């Protein structure tokens, strides 16, 4: 979508708060220097954030030969944010302060057959209630709940349009959740959640163009383009896991053949292993996590089958990541999510080599390849950050006094 | 790269002039309504364009119950722009007025063996001199020359880093051209030239996210994201022709195997035809244009071989365009360049069907597929538009009075 002046004001608000969270305390002058915004713009945005109690004045620093400069810092206790990571086998919920430090965690395990919307909603509601209680925050201080839901989601309507692993179609997820959760709710999918987490707190920070490659059960790419998350016209960009790598190759659940995901998603890796060595003790049928853990251990022990499976995966992945490098010419490619975290450095090394075999020299030379450095669940952190972005986006629509902001929300749950 | 406030001012300047060129005369109020910018911003930008003589005041219109509104229109004779399309077999140069109407054309044919940089530069210089003389414009009125050069180019340094069809490496093209051409020179490649032409004058106008698929000897995708051309960190984005569609498939001149270009570029189509029917009269060995023309005629006459070749091409192209739809989620995909123009509606119909077979439903539903509607050479028009963008970008760096702008350039050629 086209950027309006309103989008630009919002993006600038994000940029200033991001910088304050990253480096507190800081001055308006430093913020102007780092963000490239004018001092007047920074002063206005800092004023808005002060009015919202998201940041506070914390004293002065001497400036060489000038007036002392006012310092501001994030007001960690100025509000709370909740991130919800809905995955195939669990619901993971974290509550954060405004510095995005985790104050409380809750995890609900979902057994097979529990994937009905009402069951999932009950798990999310229970875990959300739990983190608020654990952290002991007043309900009025919760600025929002971000929900990361796999598959195709419609952010505007809060509908899960299509969740392939559960075969959900057009489930009004936010409406169902709002019967149990009275905080403002924001829906997006893990690609965008992880991208925004990397943009605010990870390897994409400070980069205009970055790709966050998500390697889990599903596979996709969160895109940071022009300094912000690229969502596309119907908020479904990033489905690189469903681009064709092997024409007429493996059948994918999306209906296409030869999708990247069918070769480098966890089930695809298991299939690669099965085809290579059907009786391998590395293979734990029906258990993706155990299999990937066994592979990681096998690679560390230089088990030849494990090493071959890693190389095969990297061969597919390298060609597919080279496509992103050639098409988008990003500054950094971040490998994230649980499969990337478990296979770690050996995977990164192989992928670097394989990308070099496929990509054009000029874009390749401009790109660095790293593992995600976010220590906790990036989808939770990202979902909470999306809630923070949501709260910041609505600043202009409400008055900027925090008391009014709180009153304008629906009542907290009893 | 990150967008700075300066980039945003430049983008707004483009947007306002683009709108004035599209709909002259128009008022500041209409411009504000169409662009989403504030009336104050529009008034400032209109003032700059008036100072540059790029637009003029052309009277007033009555507004319902208010003061009469001042009308502005593009000042077609306020300057001239030159677009240069360097291709494998020709150099095509056009001179435009500020309404981007063609005032003069010149074409130089390049014989095999003439691909040395000095030969190419001589052709460009001759054709450029010719269009200026034909149009009878004063040298001082030429605002710039945009040069579209295939392959990887470095816009900032004016170097052709790699031109695969001629095996050029690090040719300082703009330096060589500046020995013969004294107007400001702007270098980019046909992907960006065609994208910017579609954004200003074609099917991408008014769309935030669009993909311009270039189908010629080479293949690529010009990307419009967030309302502007996406170039990537080293200005080499859009190399979708070198993404892997068939892992371990046909060897590409880029060194990779199975690139999209090897199946749907003109030489790839010729190979598809050769493999299907080695003795086909449609095949004109060594002559891409004649072969594609014969195919187009064959399809029109429902020749079964021609129809099969078109369907094969569409099968590859549909899968590869579906990747762009899934990854970028654009509003519109434009098929452009000479192969698309010649195969026309029958190709578009087949491509629509094939994309639907591969793309995810949600992004697919949001995308329309069209042929380029630019009647002339889009690379020439786009190159001239890049020169116009270059002239507009430098507004803030010079004073805004046109006399100063002209004086600050190097002397025109004698």
ipTM: 0.88
Say if B378 is an interface residue toward chain A (CB within 8 Å): no
d(CA A153, CA B390): 39
Measured between beta carbons, which residues in chain B are less than 8 angstroms from residue A327?
Answer: 221, 223, 237-240, 243, 324, 327
Q: How many domains does chain B have?
A: 3
Can you give the pLDDT at residue A5? Answer: 63
Strands A219-225 and A228-229, bridge-based pairing: antiparallel
List the single best residue of A362, A367, A368, A369 to mutate versus B (max B Cβ within 10 A): A362
Residue of B nearest to A331 (CA): B233
Whether residue B127 contacts residue B93, with contact meaning beta carbons closer than 8 Å, is answered with yes
Which residues, at least 6 apart from A411, have a Cβ–Cβ distance to it below 8 Å? A182
Is B209 a domain residue? yes
Strands A102-109 and A142-148, bridge-based pairing: unpaired
Classify the phi-psi angles of B28: left when phi > 0, otherwise alpha if psi is within -120 to 50, otherwise beta: alpha
User: Residue A326 and residue B242: Cβ atoms within 8 Å?
Assistant: yes
**Among the three residues A74, A101, A126, which one is the final residue of a domain in this structure?**
A74
Once rounded to an integer, what is the mean pLDDT over residues B336-341? Answer: 94
Which domain, by its residues, includes B131? 78-193+377-407
List the single best residue of A39, A222, A247 to mutate versus B (max B Cβ within 10 A): A247
d(CA B332, CA A335): 30
| Same domain as B300, residue B366 | yes
d(CA A22, CA A244): 38
Which residues, at least 6 apart from B128, have a Cβ–Cβ distance to it below 8 Å? B82, B84, B93, B106, B145, B180, B181
Measured between beta carbons, which residues in chain A are less than 8 angstroms from residue B359?
Answer: 256
Can you give the pLDDT at residue A318? Answer: 98
Out of A274-288, A391-405, B168-182, least confident range: A391-405
Cα A296 to Cα A293, A346, B35, distances in angstroms: 5, 9, 53
d(CA B112, CA B119): 11
Beta bridge partners of B210: B224, B332
d(CA B28, CA A99): 44
pLDDT digits (tens, 9 = 90+) for B225-255: 988 899 999 999 999 999 999 999 999 999 9
Say if B156 is an interface residue toward chain A (CB within 8 Å): no
pLDDT digits (tens, 9 = 90+) for B25-45: 999 999 988 888 888 989 999
Nearest-5° angle of CA A221, CA A226, CA A230? Answer: 40
Measured between beta carbons, which residues in chain B are less than 8 angstroms from residue A4?
Answer: 36-37
Can you give the pLDDT at residue B167? Answer: 85
Can you give the pLDDT at residue A198? Answer: 95
| Same domain as B270, residue B212 | yes
Interface of A with B in 299-328 (CB under 8 A): 316, 319-320, 322-324, 326-328
Once rounded to an integer, what is the mean pLDDT over residues B287-302? Answer: 96
d(CA A252, CA A53): 48
Question: Which residue, A118, A130, A248, is CA-closest to A177?
Answer: A118
Can you give the pLDDT at residue B85? Answer: 96
d(CA A282, CA A51): 56
| Same domain as A90, residue A67 | no
Can you give the pLDDT at residue A4? Answer: 62
Of B208, B209, B240, the CB nearest to A327: B240
Which pLDDT band, with edges at 50, 70 and 90, does B397 fall under? low
Residue of A nearest to B251 (CA): A358
| Same domain as B381, residue B340 | no
> Is pLDDT above 90 for A245?
yes
State residue B126 phi and psi, 5-degree precision. -65, -45
> Is pLDDT above 50 for B413?
no
Of A226, A244, A362, the CB nearest to B323: A244
Say if B240 is an interface residue toward chain A (CB within 8 Å): yes
Say if A366 is an interface residue toward chain B (CB within 8 Å): yes
- In terms of average pLDDT, the best of A48-62, B6-20, B331-345 is B331-345
User: Exposed, middle or buried by CB within 10 Å (0-12, 13-18, 19+), for B114?
Assistant: middle
Is A209 a domain residue? yes
> Is pLDDT above 60 for B3?
no
pLDDT digits (tens, 9 = 90+) for B111-142: 877 889 999 999 999 999 999 999 999 988 99
Can you give the pLDDT at residue B173? Answer: 97
Is B414 a domain residue? no
| Same domain as B103, residue B43 | no
Buried b (16+ CB within 10 A) or exposed e, A82-104: bbbbbbbeebbbbbbbbebebbb
Question: Which residue, B393, B375, B392, B349, is CA-closest to B74?
Answer: B392
Nearest-5° angle of CA A8, CA A21, CA B2? Answer: 35
Interface of B with A in 21-80 (CB under 8 A): 36-38, 41
Q: CATH number of the domain at B113, please.
A: 3.30.420.40
DSSP A348-406: HHHHHHHHHHHS-HHHHHH-EEEE----S-HHHHHHHHHHHHHHHHGGGGS-S-HHHHH
Q: What is the mean pLDDT of chain B?
A: 90
Residues B27, B29, B33, B37: is their CA dihedral positive or negative? positive
Is A200 a domain residue? no
Strands A159-163 and A152-154, bridge-based pairing: antiparallel
Residue of B nearest to A191 (CA): B327
User: Residue B233 and residue A331: Cβ atoms within 8 Å?
Assistant: yes
Is A285 a domain residue? yes
Contacts 24+ apart (CB under 8 A), B24-32: B24/B58, B24/B72, B24/B73, B24/B74, B24/B99, B25/B58, B25/B59, B25/B71, B25/B72, B25/B73, B26/B71, B26/B72, B26/B73, B27/B61, B27/B63, B27/B69, B27/B70, B27/B71, B27/B72, B28/B69, B28/B70, B28/B72, B29/B63, B29/B69
| Same domain as B235, residue B119 | no
d(CA B63, CA A333): 53
pLDDT digits (tens, 9 = 90+) for A345-382: 999 999 999 999 999 999 999 999 999 999 888 999 99
Which residues, at least 6 apart from A111, have a Cβ–Cβ distance to it below 8 Å? none
pLDDT digits (tens, 9 = 90+) for A219-229: 999 999 988 89
Whether residue A156 contacts residue A100, with contact meaning beta carbons closer than 8 Å, is answered with no
| Same domain as B397, residue B306 | no
Which pLDDT band, with edges at 50, 70 and 90, does B401 fall under? very low
Contacts 24+ apart (CB under 8 A), B296-302: B296/B342, B296/B343, B296/B344, B299/B343, B299/B346, B300/B346
| Same domain as B212, residue B174 | no
Is A130 a domain residue? yes
Strand extents, DSSP E, A256-355: 332-336
Question: Which residue, A120, A124, A165, A126, is CA-closest to A146?
Answer: A124
Measured between beta carbons, which residues in chain A are less than 8 angstroms from residue B238?
Answer: 327, 329
Whether residue B320 contacts residue B264, with contact meaning beta carbons closer than 8 Å, is answered with yes
Say whether B25 sits in a helix, a strand or coil: coil
User: Residue B360 and residue A243: Cβ atoms within 8 Å?
Assistant: no
Measured between beta carbons, which residues in chain A are less than 8 angstroms from residue B234?
Answer: 329, 362-363, 365-366
Can you give the pLDDT at residue B137? Answer: 92
Whether residue B208 contacts residue A233, with contact meaning beta carbons closer than 8 Å, is answered with yes
SS3 labels along B56-111 = EEEEEECCCCCCCEEEEEECHHHCEEEEEEECCCEEEEEEEECCCCEEEEEEEECC
Is A199 a domain residue? no
Interface of A with B in 176-215 (CB under 8 A): 206-209
Helix and strand counts by DSSP (H, E) for chain A: 14, 16
| Same domain as B222, residue B318 | yes
Can you give the pLDDT at residue B410? Answer: 40
| Same domain as A346, residue A225 | yes
DSSP state of B282: T
By 3-state DSSP, what share of chain A in percent is helix, strand and coil, each rounded to 5?
A: 45, 20, 30
Once rounded to an integer, what is the mean pLDDT over residues B186-196? Answer: 95
Residue of B nearest to A5 (CA): B37
Compute, in degrees rounded to 10, the torsion defined by CA atoms B329, B334, B337, B343.
110
Q: What is the mean pLDDT of chain A?
A: 90
d(CA A259, CA A297): 27
User: Residue B244 and residue A322: Cβ atoms within 8 Å?
Assistant: yes
Which residues, at least 6 apart from B247, have a Cβ–Cβ distance to it below 8 Å? A245, A246, A249, A316, A319, B257, B258
Is A365 a domain residue? yes
d(CA B339, CA B118): 29
Q: CATH number of the domain at A55, please.
A: 1.10.10.10
Can you give the pLDDT at residue A2? Answer: 53
The enclosing H or E element of A145 equals strand A142-148
Strands B102-109 and B90-97, bridge-based pairing: antiparallel
| Same domain as B135, residue B70 | no
Say if B247 is an interface residue toward chain A (CB within 8 Å): yes
Say if A169 is an interface residue toward chain B (CB within 8 Å): no
> Is pLDDT above 80 for A287?
yes
Which residues, at least 6 apart from A260, have a Cβ–Cβ distance to it below 8 Å? A219, A240, A241, A242, A243, A245, A316, A317, A320
Buried b (16+ CB within 10 A) or exposed e, B184-196: bbbbbbbbbbbbb
Of A208, A231, A236, the CB nearest to B2: A208
| Same domain as B150, residue B229 | no
Which pLDDT band, with edges at 50, 70 and 90, does A3 fall under? low
**Among the three residues B44, B74, B104, which one is the final residue of a domain in this structure?**
B74
Of A227, A246, A254, the CB nearest to B3: A227
Question: Which residue, B161, B224, B217, is CA-closest to B193?
Answer: B224
Buried b (16+ CB within 10 A) or exposed e, A354-392: bbeebbbebbbebbebbbbebebbbbbbbbbbbbbbbbb
Question: Which residue, A79, A187, A186, A184, is CA-closest to A409?
Answer: A184
**Among the three residues B74, B104, B130, which one is the final residue of a domain in this structure?**
B74
Measured between beta carbons, which residues in chain A are less than 8 angstroms from residue B246?
Answer: 246-247
d(CA A332, CA A74): 27
**How many CB pairs (< 8 A) connect A and B?**
204
> Is pLDDT above 90 for B326?
yes
pLDDT digits (tens, 9 = 90+) for B380-396: 999 999 999 998 887 65
């Amino acid at each position: 979508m086209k950027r309006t002046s309103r989008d630009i004001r919002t993006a600038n608000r994000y940029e200033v708060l991001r910088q304050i969270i990253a480096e507190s305390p800081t001055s308006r002058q430093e913020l102007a220097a780092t963000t490239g915004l004018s001092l007047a713009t920074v002063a206005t945005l800092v004023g808005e954030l002060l009015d919202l109690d998201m940041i506070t004045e914390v004293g002065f620093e001497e400036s060489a030969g000038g007036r002392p400069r006012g310092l501001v810092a994030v007001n960690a206790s100025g509000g709370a944010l909740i991130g919800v990571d809905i995955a195939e086998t669990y619901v993971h919920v974290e509550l954060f302060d405004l510095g995005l430090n985790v104050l409380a965690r809750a995890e609900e395990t979902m057994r097979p057959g529990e994937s009905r919307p009402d069951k999932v909603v009950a798990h999310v509601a229970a875990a959300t209630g739990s983190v608020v209680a654990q952290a002991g925050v007043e309900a009025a201080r919760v600025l929002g709940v971000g929900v990361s839901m796999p598959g195709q989601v419609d952010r505007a309507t809060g509908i899960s349009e299509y969740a392939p692993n559960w075969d959900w179609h057009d489930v009004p997820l936010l409406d169902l959740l709002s019967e149990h959760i009275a905080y403002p709710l924001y829906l997006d999918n893990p690609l965008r959640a992880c991208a925004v987490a990397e943009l605010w707190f990870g390897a994409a920070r400070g980069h205009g163009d970055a790709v966050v490659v998500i390697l889990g059960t599903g596979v996709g790419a969160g895109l940071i383009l022009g300094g912000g998350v690229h969502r596309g016209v119907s908020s479904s960009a990033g489905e690189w896991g469903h681009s064709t790598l092997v024409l007429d190759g493996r059948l994918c659940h999306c209906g296409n053949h030869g999708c990247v995901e069918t070769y480098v998603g966890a089930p695809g890796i298991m299939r690669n292993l099965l085809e290579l060595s059907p009786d391998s003790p590395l293979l734990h049928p029906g258990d993706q996590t155990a299999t990937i853990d066994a592979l990681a251990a096998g690679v560390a022990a230089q088990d030849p089958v494990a090493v071959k499976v890693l190389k095969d995966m990297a061969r597919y992945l390298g060609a597919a990541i080279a496509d992103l490098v050639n098409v988008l010419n990003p500054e950094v490619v971040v490998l994230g999510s649980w499969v990337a975290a478990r296979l770690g450095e050996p995977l990164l090394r192989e992928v670097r080599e394989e990308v070099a075999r496929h990509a054009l020299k000029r874009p390749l030379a401009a790109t660095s390849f790293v593992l995600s450095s976010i220590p906790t669940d990036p989808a939770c952190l990202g979902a909470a950050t999306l809630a923070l972005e949501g709260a910041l986006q609505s600043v202009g629509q409400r008055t900027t006094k925090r008391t009014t902001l709180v009153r304008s929300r629906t009542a907290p749950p009893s």
